[in-house]
Amino acid sequence: MKTKFLCLVTLLFLGSNVGYAGTYTDSAHGNSTYGVERTTTAQYATGHCAHCHKQHAGIDGTESGHTGGPDNYLLFNTNHVSQTDNFCYSCHGDGTFYTNAITNYSYSRIFGGDTGNSVDDIKEAFDLSGSTHDLADILIKLKTDWPSTFNDNSNPCSGCHNPHLVQKKISSNTYSADKSALSRPCNHDELWGDTDGSVDKERMDEYLGASEYYRAPFYVRANSALQITTHEPDRISRLYSEANGFNLTNFVAFCLDCHSSSIGTVKAIDWSINGDVHGKAFKSGGTDNGNRMAPYTADGTNGTLEDTNKNFVLSCMDCHEPHGSSNPKLLRTEVNKKTDISFSGGQFNNFCNGSCHSSTHNESTTSCAECHYHGNNL
C-alpha cells in the first residue's frame, strides 16, 4: 500500500508524460480534447491526472458533496462508499463536479437504438428499481477471486473498467471496434475487445465454426425484410452473414470471469456444449421448435424460416444490460428490434416472444423462463 502511495505521488509530480504515457493519453480520460476536466481544477490541461488525483495530500481536502474519509489513492472523492455514492459518479453521475455533464446511455440505447430508454448517466443505471449489479457484492467477488489486483480500497467499477485505459467506442457517431471501455477482472492492466485474432479471442467471431455461429441482432430501425440491413453494434448496413461479431467484444469470456461459478444465490452460467442452448449447446430439435425469427433465418430476413442448420451462440449483451435495468435480471429494454417488452405478472414471455422467437407453445399460460432458464439446458 505504502509503495503504491509513493509511486502515485511521484507519478503525479512528474506529470502525465511518464508512467502511463502512451496508454493513458490514448484513453478517454487522458484525451486532451474531451478527457477529464473538472470545474475546480481548470488550471490543469484537459486529460491531466490532477482532475482525478490530488497532488497535495488530500488528507482532508474536500469539495462540497464529498462523503467518507480521506482516500487512499489521493482521489478528490472517496473511491467507493455505496451503490449511489462512488468516485466515478462525480463525473458520470449528476455532474456536480464536472464542467459539462457527461451523457452515458444504456447498452440498449447506444447499440440497439432504443431512444425510449431514458437512462442517461451511470449513477442512474446503478440506482434503477428493476435490477442492478450490486457494487458491494462485486467488490467482494473481486477481492476474493483476484486478491493481488483488488483490495478493500478498490473501486468496484474497476473490476470491469481500468480508469487509466478506458476508451470511447463511439465518437461523433462513429463506432470503433478497436477501442474498448473494458478490462477483464482477470487482466486488469489490458483492454479487452480492442484486438481481434485467433489467439486473443477478444471478439464474438470467436464463435464462428463448423458447429457454432454468432449473428448480431438487428438494430432497432433495421428492415427485417432485407438481407442487407443494420445490425448491432455499429448500426451499419451489411449482409446478414457479415454481421458475424467480428466487431463485437467477446462478452461471453468477459462476463464468465465472474459468472462461470455461482455467486451466492445467483446460479453459474455454462455456455459450453454441455450447457445452455443460447450458448454452444445444440438445440434439441424436438417437435416443439419455438421458431427463431430473423436474423436467425436461412437468409437473415423474415421471408424465410429459421436456419435449422446453424447452432447460434449468443452474446450475453444481446439480452443483458451491464449496469442496471428497469427490467428484472438486468434484461435489456430492447432486444433484436423489439422495444415494447413487458414483464407484467412476472412473465418473461413478452421478452422472448416476438423478439427472437415466434413461439408455438405456452405463450400466455406460463412464463417461458419457468422451463427455459440458464442451467436447464432446454
Chain positions 189 to 218 lying near ligand HEC, rule: CB under 6 A, are: none
Stretch touching ligand HEC by CB under 6 A, among 112-120, 204-212, 220-228, 363-371: 363-371
Stretch touching ligand HEC by CB under 6 A, among 57-65, 195-203, 208-216, 317-325: 317-325
Nearest of 105, 112, 117, 170 to residue 319 by alpha carbon: 112
| Bridge partners for 238 per DSSP | 229
Cell (9 digits) for 329: 435480471
Please pick, from the candidates 195, 223, 289, 377, the single residue that binds ligand HEC as defined by CB under 6 A. Answer: 289
Nearest of 256, 254, 229, 198 to residue 336 by alpha carbon: 229
Please pick, from the candidates 63, 127, 190, 363, the single residue that binds ligand HEC as defined by CB under 6 A. Answer: 363
Stretch touching ligand HEC by CB under 6 A, among 61-69, 98-106, 221-229, 296-304: 98-106
Side-chain half-sphere CA neighbours of 367 within 13 A: 11
Closer by beta carbon to ligand HEC, 216 or else 316: 316
Contacts of 196 (CB under 8 A, 6+ apart): 177, 202, 203, 205, 246
Site for ligand HEC in 242-281 (CB under 6 A): 249, 251-252, 254-259, 263, 266-267, 269, 271, 277-278
Tell me the number of residues near ligand HEC by CB under 6 A: 110
Torsion angle of C-alpha atoms 302, 304, 310, 313, degrees rounded to 10: 10
Which amino acid is located at 262 in the chain? S
Residue 369 touching ligand HEC (CB under 6 A): yes
Stretch touching ligand HEC by CB under 6 A, among 20-28, 205-213, 235-243, 336-344: 20-28
CB of 314 closer than 8 Å to CB of 279: yes
| Separation of alpha carbons 228 and 277, rounded Å | 27
Site for ligand HEC in 293-312 (CB under 6 A): none
CB of 217 closer than 8 Å to CB of 318: yes
Cell (9 digits) for 193: 475487445
CB of 310 to ligand HEC, least distance (A): 13
- Maximum CA extent, the chain: 70
Which amino acid is located at 65 in the chain? G
CB of 77 to ligand HEC, least distance (A): 8
Stretch touching ligand HEC by CB under 6 A, among 8-16, 62-70, 197-205, 297-305: 8-16
CB of 346 closer than 8 Å to CB of 369: no
| Separation of alpha carbons 267 and 222, rounded Å | 34
> H or E segment at 107?
helix 107-110
Stretch touching ligand HEC by CB under 6 A, among 57-65, 87-95, 201-209, 211-219: 87-95
CB of 212 to ligand HEC, least distance (A): 13
Closer by beta carbon to ligand HEC, 132 or else 227: 132
Q: b/e map of 113-144 (b: 16 or more CB within 10 Å)? A: bbeebebebbbbbbbbeebbbbbeebbebbbe
Closer by beta carbon to ligand HEC, 277 or else 305: 277
* Shortest-Cβ-distance residue relative to ligand HEC: 286
Residue 231 touching ligand HEC (CB under 6 A): no
CB of 1 to ligand HEC, least distance (A): 10
Closer by beta carbon to ligand HEC, 15 or else 227: 15
| Bridge partners for 175 per DSSP | 170
Site for ligand HEC in 122-181 (CB under 6 A): 122, 126, 131, 133-134, 137-138, 141-142, 154-161, 163-164, 166, 168-169, 181
Stretch touching ligand HEC by CB under 6 A, among 59-67, 84-92, 202-210, 222-230: 84-92
Residue 185 touching ligand HEC (CB under 6 A): yes
CB of 351 closer than 8 Å to CB of 321: no
CB of 357 closer than 8 Å to CB of 293: yes
| Separation of alpha carbons 127 and 325, rounded Å | 9
343: helix, strand or coil: coil
Site for ligand HEC in 58-77 (CB under 6 A): 73, 75
CB of 345 to ligand HEC, least distance (A): 13
